[in-house]
Amino acid sequence: MTDLDRLFREYHQPLVRYLTRRLGDRDWAEEMVQETFLRAARQDSIVSERSWLFAVATNLVRDEARKDARRRRHLELLREQAKADDVVEPEPLTIERAEEAALARRALEMLAERDREALLMREEGLDYTEIASALNLSIGSVGTTLARARRRLVEAYESLQPRESAARGPHAASR
């Protein structure tokens, strides 16, 4: 098994999950992860592979976000085509879970970019050294960043909650 195979097996799923959470778009996330591994293949050696992969994936997303929407529209078109071809829906979602996910996404979007990335990396199991390395932070500031990110996420989520409940009417409130 080559190094790239091993890297792919070990980190593909965490990276896809990280970027899907970050972007809210699995297809886009998959594409970014593919690009990340292509870049890894071009490297002679990678010292801290997990933090390197997450850093590259994060930077790719940042770069991507700065570009104009043309490529994204193209991807969305591709995604629609893929959806049309995809007859099997693997995850039947309940309305409640979908609403909860939408709320969580809105709350996450309210965080500063660095806080959001640190939090999502931590949720993927990266330790403080790896997060610091991937985001160019000092190790000492990772705890503060995570504390702030967690607090703001919970507060943002809860600040959105009553409005959502009120908008849905009394049934939602009594749920």
Partner 1 sequence: MQHLDEGTIHAWLDGALNDEETTAIARHLVECATCTAQVAEARGMIAGASRIVSSLDVVRGNVIPPAAPVRAGSVWRRLRLTPARAALAASVLLAVSAMLAVRHDTPNKMVPKTVVSGPDARVSAPAAATAPAPATAVPARSVSVVRPDSAAAQPRAETTATAAPPAKAAMSTAAANQAVAASAGTAVDTVKPHDEKAARIVAAPQSFSPAATAAAAGAPGFASAQGVSARPAMNEMRSAALGALTPGCYLVERDSSAWLRVIPPRFALVRDDAAQRNVVRAITLDAHIDSVVPGSAWREIPNRGIVVDFRAQPELRPVSLTLSASGRVAEATSGAESRPVEVRRVGCPH
- Residues in touch with partner 1 (CB under 8 A): 14, 16-17, 20-21, 24-26, 50, 89-93, 97-98, 100-101, 103-105, 107-108, 119-120, 122-128, 140-151, 153-155, 157-158
Instruction: Tell me if 99 sits within 8 A of 164, measured CB to CB.
Output: yes
Q: How far apart are CA 145 and CA 141, in angstroms?
A: 6
108 DSSP assignment: H
Q: How many CA atoms lie within 13 A of 165 on its CB side?
A: 12
Q: What size, in residues, is the chain?
A: 175
Q: Closer to partner 1 at the Cβ: 68 or 88? A: 88
CB of 173 to partner 1, least distance (A): 13
CB of 42 to partner 1, least distance (A): 25
CB of 17 to partner 1, least distance (A): 5
